[in-house]
A and B are shown apart, each in its own frame.
Chain A
Amino acid sequence: MKEFAYFPGCSLEKVGLSYHLSTVETTRKLGVDLKELEDWNCCGATTYFHVDELLAYTLCARNLAMAEKDNLDLVAPCSACYKNSYFTNKHLKEDPDLAEHINYALEEDNLNFSGQIEVKHLIEVFVHDVGLEEIRNNVSMPLEGLRVAPYYGCQILRPRKDHEDVEQAEFFEDLLSAIGAEPIPYPLKLKCCGGSLILSSREAALSMVRNLLQNAEDNGAEVIATACPMCQVNLECYQQQVNQEFGTRFSVPVVYFTQLMGLALGIPAKKLGIGKEIVAATPLAPYAR
Chain B
Amino acid sequence: MAKPSFSDEIANLLHAGHGNPLRTCIQCGTCSGTCPVVEYMDHTPRRIIGMIRANLKDEVLASNTYWYCASCYHCTVRCPAQIDIAETMYALKRYSIWKHVHQEGLVGPVFSETFVKTILRSGRSFEPILATSYLFSSGARELIQEAFMGTKMMLKGRMPVLPPRIKRLDNFKRMVSRVIPLEADS
Contact = CB atoms under 8 A, between A and B. Distances in A.
Interface string B92-118: 011001000000001111011101100
Nearest to B142: A202
Contact of A195 (B71, B168, B175, B179): B71
Given A159-B73, A199-B111, A53 B123 contact: no
Given A51-B116, A208-B36, A105 B168 contact: no
Interface residues of B, number: 64
B147 interface: no
Interface stretch (A12-20, A116-124, A177-185, A259-267): A12-20
Interface residues of A, number: 70
Given A13-B160, A48-B119, A201 B77 contact: no
B77 A160 contact: yes
B175 A42 contact: no
A14 B123 contact: no
Interface string A59-75: 10010000000000000
Contacts of A102: 179
B54 interface: no
Given A15-B159, A55-B179, A199-B131, A42 B172 contact: no
Leading 8 A-B pairs by shortest Cβ distance: A192-B72, A158-B73, A105-B178, A109-B171, A154-B72, A10-B125, A204-B40, A108-B174
14 contacts: A42-B123, A42-B125, A53-B16, A58-B179, A158-B73, A158-B76, A159-B84, A160-B76, A190-B74, A199-B130, A199-B133, A200-B108, A204-B40, A237-B149
Interface of A: 10-11, 13-17, 38-42, 44-55, 58-59, 62, 87, 91, 101-102, 104-110, 154-155, 158-160, 166-167, 190-192, 194-197, 199-205, 207-208, 211, 237-238, 240-241, 244, 276-278
